[in-house]
């Protein structure tokens, strides 16, 4: 994995730098939408987002199979198979999506009043263009075209953000959907011009059936996963009003921006993992593949989250004080990011073609979804607030990650003794992170002077972050490798 690190870091830095720019733009866009539309209007926008989410989960899974198999086929020099996978993915996935869009549009016309109906029709159009754009992005990821993808991220985010901001006064709650529709058309043209995929319509019944058999588990996995991840907002929409959905969604979208930034390194990591699982034959091989990325994410993530714990309340109170209730929702929800990153590598391992146990992930997501839905429904019926909803979400993440770790450990850990040592490494920053959060809460509760409170909070952050980063470097020697890679990049050798 060490030899792959330059490529992973280069791809990850390209994507995450672009995502950081995109996140800043999207953050500004979210802030302006939340400010101009008000809590209720912002809640309505998130109703459209939920419809987009569930409509976007439909598919045969052929595109996921292609993204998983293309890196191995590329390593084997099988260009013909790569081309076939690409064309089949475009042909069948877009064909199904056209049907789905027609159904969504018809339901929008029949079921909703005019104000919502217009939004649903825009959602239907977006679903088609979004699928085409995602197919390009997926194939670009599989072929490691991270430079093109990072440029696309910046162009897309900048254009969508600016268009949304310019249109919101005119189109009100439809501004975001209208902007996305235009931008995704632009992005599709950009990706085709740079990636040169030139997909062709190709029908092959035998290959289609074989790929669907492999792909449907991935579709089911995505469906279960996103039903679980959206269960909080869905239940709030059912049991509470649109205003509460707007407050909760504001915090949830902020957390999602953090997840997107961290996911870019995971996106760059994925093809390298799938390439190297082909050559891994023993538990020791798989452990060597898994350990370093897992430790890095387990130590870096809480440092990032601790910093966000500090700055989010200042941002809210300074710019959007009407969303003050979202502060503790955000602070609770960020724990899911740390927990999720602990289980990140085992997800890749179980999904690798050589292991092919994504059904185990589906069971973990199912258990988490049922737990989340049940707890949230009980909390809301019992009169608990949004903080209880966020806590249920974090608890369900703990369940999902625990199940996946237990399901995967026989593939890369020798026995329970080695498992306990490994899990201990991953969870080592957790007590320090909990102490940091407790210390910040005490400072905010007990110190009235704002300057002193802010200064003390940042000192506590440095006291927490420094030993965590030092400990990570002692375990994996990352800083020295980063220095070498940085020097190589400057010389153009990476």
Q: Are 472 and 478 in contact (CB under 8 A)?
A: yes
Secondary structure letter of residue 172 according to DSSP: G
What is the per-residue pLDDT for 17?
Answer: 62
**pLDDT given at position 319:** 83
Spatial separation of the C-alpha atoms in residues 286 and 433, rounded to whole Å = 29
Predicted local distance difference test score (pLDDT) of residue 269: 63
Angstrom distance (rounded) from CA 23 to CA 155: 12
Tokens 């910093």, located at residue: 307
User: What is the spatial distance between Cα 296 and Cα 375, in angstroms, rounded to a whole number?
Assistant: 32
Sorted by sequence, the CB contacts under 8 Å of residue 250 that are 6+ apart come out as: 30, 34, 42, 320, 323, 326
Listed as own residue / partner, the contacts of 140-143 with beta carbons closer than 8 Å and 24 or more positions apart are 140/191, 140/195, 141/67, 141/267, 141/270, 141/271, 142/66, 142/67, 142/68, 142/70, 142/71, 142/74, 142/271, 143/70, 143/74, 143/195
Angstrom distance (rounded) from CA 206 to CA 213:
11
pLDDT, residue 437, reads 93
User: Would you state the pLDDT for residue 494?
Assistant: 47
- In this prediction, the residues of the chain whose per-residue pLDDT falls under 70 are 1-24, 75, 261, 263-278, 353, 478-494
Exposure of 115 by Cβ count < 10 A (0-12 exposed, 13-18 middle, 19+ buried)?
Answer: exposed
Contacts of 268 (CB under 8 A, 6+ apart): 7, 8, 9, 10, 11, 12, 14, 15, 146
The domain ranges of the chain are: 17-217, 230-488
């Amino acid at each position: 994995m060490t030899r792959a690190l330059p490529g992973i870091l280069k791809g990850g830095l390209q994507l995450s730098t672009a995502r950081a720019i995109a996140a800043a733009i999207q953050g500004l866009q979210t802030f302006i939408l939340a400010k101009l539309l008000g809590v209720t209007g912002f809640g309505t926008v998130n109703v459209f987002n939920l419809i987009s989410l569930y409509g976007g989960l439909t598919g045969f899974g052929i595109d996921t199979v292609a993204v998983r198999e293309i890196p191995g086929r590329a390593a084997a020099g099988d260009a013909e198979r790569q081309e076939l996978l690409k064309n089949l993915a475009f042909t069948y996935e877009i064909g199904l999506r056209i049907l789905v869009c027609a159904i969504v549009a018809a339901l929008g016309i029949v079921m909703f009043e005019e104000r919502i109906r217009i939004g649903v029709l825009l959602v239907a159009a977006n679903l088609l263009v979004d699928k085409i754009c995602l197919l390009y992005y997926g194939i670009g990821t599989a072929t490691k075209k991270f430079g093109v993808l990072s440029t696309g991220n910046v162009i897309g985010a900048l254009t969508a953000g600016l268009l949304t901001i310019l249109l919101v006064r005119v189109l009100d709650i439809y501004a975001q959907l209208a902007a996305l529709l235009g931008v995704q058309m632009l992005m599709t043209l950009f990706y085709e011009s740079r990636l040169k995929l030139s997909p062709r319509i190709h029908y092959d019944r035998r290959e289609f059936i074989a790929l669907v058999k492999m792909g449907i588990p991935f579709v089911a996995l995505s469906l279960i996963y996103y039903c679980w991840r959206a269960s909080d907002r869905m239940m709030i929409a059912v049991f509470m009003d649109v205003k509460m959905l707007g407050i909760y969604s504001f915090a949830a979208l902020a957390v999602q921006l953090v997840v997107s930034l961290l996911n870019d390194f995971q996106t760059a990591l994925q093809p390298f993992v799938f390439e190297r699982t082909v050559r891994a034959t023993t538990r020791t091989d798989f452990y060597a593949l898994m350990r370093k990325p897992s430790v890095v994410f387990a130590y870096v993530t809480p440092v990032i989250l601790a910093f966000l714990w500090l700055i989010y309340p200042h941002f809210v109170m300074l710019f959007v004080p009407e969303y003050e209730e979202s502060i503790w929702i955000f602070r609770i929800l960020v724990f899911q990011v740390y927990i999720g990153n602990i289980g990140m590598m085992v997800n890749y391992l179980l999904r690798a073609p050589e292991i092919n146990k994504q059904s185990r992930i589906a069971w973990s997501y199912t258990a988490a979804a049922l737990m989340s839905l049940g707890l949230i429904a009980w909390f809301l019926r019992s009169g608990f607030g949004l903080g209880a909803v966020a806590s249920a979400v974090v608890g369900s993440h703990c369940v999902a990650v625990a199940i996946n770790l237990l399901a995967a450990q026989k593939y890369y850990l020798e026995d329970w003794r080695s498992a306990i040592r490994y899990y201990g490494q991953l969870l080592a920053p957790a007590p320090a992170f909990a102490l940091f959060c407790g210390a910040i809460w005490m400072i905010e509760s007990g110190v009235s002077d704002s300057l002193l409170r802010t200064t003390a909070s940042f000192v506590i952050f440095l006291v927490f972050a420094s030993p965590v980063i030092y400990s990570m470097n002692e375990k994996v020697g990352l800083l020295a490798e980063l220095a070498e890679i940085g020097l190589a990049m400057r010389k153009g050798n990476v």
